[in-house]
């Protein structure tokens, strides 16, 4: 990563740290160790903030990497990797959590918005208008995608649809390089490490948490 954009790793690292806190708390609740609501207030807002940071970083990273011309080999290599991971997540959760399996989670969304962002490198003028249309449609007129429930009539434990979240990616594309050039974050080794290994941590952390809590529950019953 170019030193000018070192803040991107720090931002990703912050999102990863918040994600670890949220999922650890969620698992505490899931296993009955705390009594709180995970569906409103702070615990409702936190995962949305995490997704916002991740997707803003996706947009900024796309612009930094491909703003002067799409580097197709590296783009497709990363995209295919994300799609493979998304498929694995879907298959594993389908058999592990049949009532709440993930059919369009965070990784699915990142892969999809990566494709949807491609035309905006050629038609850069369309970024702001599309950004405004999505914001107005979703948050002023409440145009949502509840119709998807007809095809997937169950609760997914992670559902991050490309619409309306594409607006965050467009925001990252429009503002990312400029903000990251102006912003000089203080060096934080922990956040940097978390940011550089965000995808690996995303894949293994919840399985590790779940295994530890399951082991603790088994030990309590002995």
Residue 142: its pLDDT value, please? 81
Residue 3: its pLDDT value, please? 53
Residue 177 maps to a domain: no
Residue 187 maps to a domain: no
Domain housing 71: 3-169+198-221
DSSP 157: S
| Locus of tokens 């918040």 | 18
Residue 99: its pLDDT value, please? 87
Going by C-alpha positions, the residue among 206, 183, 127 that lies closest to residue 9 is 183
- What would the two tokens of residue 149 be? 């429930």
DSSP 140: I
Residue 193 maps to a domain: no
Distances in Å between the Cα of 121 and the Cα atoms of 65, 131, 137, 166, 186 are 11, 14, 23, 14, 31
Residue 97: its pLDDT value, please? 87
Residue 175 maps to a domain: no
Residue 152: its pLDDT value, please? 60
Residue 77 maps to a domain: yes
- Specify the 3-state DSSP secondary structure of 217: helix
In this structure, are residues 56 and 81 in contact, taking their beta carbons and an 8 Å threshold? no
- Specify the 3-state DSSP secondary structure of 159: strand
- Reduce the secondary structure of 6-47 to three states and give it as a string: CHHHHHHHHHHHHHHHHHHHHHHHHCCCCCCCCCCCHHHHHH
Residue 179 maps to a domain: no
Residue 181 maps to a domain: no
Task: Count up the domains in the chain and report the number.
Answer: 1
- What would the two tokens of residue 60 be? 């900024």
Q: Which residues contact 221 (CB under 8 A, 6 or more apart)?
A: none
Distance CA 2, CA 94 (A): 39
pTM greater than the 0.75 cutoff: yes
Mean pLDDT by 10 residues, the chain (222 residues): 70 96 94 87 94 97 94 96 96 90 93 97 97 93 65 76 94 93 76 94 93 89 78
Distance CA 138, CA 141 (A): 6
Distance CA 133, CA 120 (A): 15
Residue 163 maps to a domain: yes
């Amino acid at each position: 990563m170019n030193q000018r954009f070192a803040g991107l790793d720090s931002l990703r690292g912050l999102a990863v740290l918040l994600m670890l806190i949220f999922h650890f708390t969620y698992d505490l609740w899931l296993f009955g160790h705390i009594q709180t609501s995970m569906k409103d207030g702070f615990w409702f807002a936190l995962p949305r903030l995490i997704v916002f940071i991740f997707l803003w970083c996706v947009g900024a990273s796309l612009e930094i990497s491909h703003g002067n011309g799409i580097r197709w080999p590296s783009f497709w290599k990363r995209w295919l990797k994300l799609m493979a991971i998304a498929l694995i997540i879907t298959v594993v959760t389908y058999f592990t959590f049949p009532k709440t399996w993930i059919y369009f989670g965070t990784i699915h969304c990142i892969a999809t918005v990566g494709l949807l962002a491609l035309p905006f490198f050629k038609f850069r003028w369309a970024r702001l208008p599309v950004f405004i249309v999505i914001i107005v449609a979703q948050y002023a007129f409440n145009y949502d995608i509840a119709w998807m429930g007809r095809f997937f009539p169950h609760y997914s434990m992670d559902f991050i649809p490309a619409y309306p979240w594409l607006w965050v990616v467009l925001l990252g594309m429009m503002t990312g390089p400029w903000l990251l050039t102006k912003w000089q974050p203080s060096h934080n080794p922990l956040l940097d490490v978390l940011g550089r290994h965000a995808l690996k941590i995303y894949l293994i952390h919840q399985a590790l948490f779940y295994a530890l809590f399951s082991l603790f529950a088994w030990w309590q019953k002995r």
